[in-house]
Amino acid sequence: MNYLLSDADKKKSVFDSMSPKRQKYIIEKVGYDKWDPFEKPKDPIDIRRDKSKRTAQMLVREFLQSKSMDQYSNNYGRGVLDMAIGIVNDDDRYIAMYDFALWHNELIRKEQG
């Protein structure tokens, strides 16, 4: 028996052991060539930090502390948390919302001043 398998053989072995539904997902959504069954897991969310070296929880706390309690609701707080997690994770969807909010603020500022 040969125990020295190449990485490609190991990858194929993992792929072949998956259910047909999971194989189909990898082929159609990820692409077999791009798929890495051996990639390291991402850091836990509470350890991930943004460019300011703050966790999502730190960002939320600092931001909400800058507001008075009557300035925000539970939904507002959930929105802040969603944005903080999205930004810390460098998620394009949240980066786009942030960029749009900055652009819109500048647009309003220009039109009013």
Domain count, the chain: 2
Sign of CA dihedral 27, 28, 34, 35: negative
**95 CB contacts (<8 Å, ≥6 apart)?**
86, 87
Q: Over its length of 113 residues, how does the chain's per-residue pLDDT go in tens digits?
A: 456 778 888 889 889 999 999 999 999 998 999 999 888 777 665 688 889 999 999 999 999 999 988 888 999 999 999 999 999 999 999 999 999 999 999 999 999 97
Q: Is residue 46 part of a domain?
A: no
Shared domain check, 106 and 64:
yes
Shared domain check, 23 and 63:
no
Shared domain check, 66 and 35:
no
d(CA 49, CA 97): 19
Phi-psi region of 31 (alpha: psi -120 to 50; beta: other; left: phi over 0): left
Give 52's Cβ-side CA count (13 Å radius): 10
Q: Is residue 36 part of a domain?
A: yes
Residue range of the domain that includes 77: 56-112
Q: Is residue 91 part of a domain?
A: yes
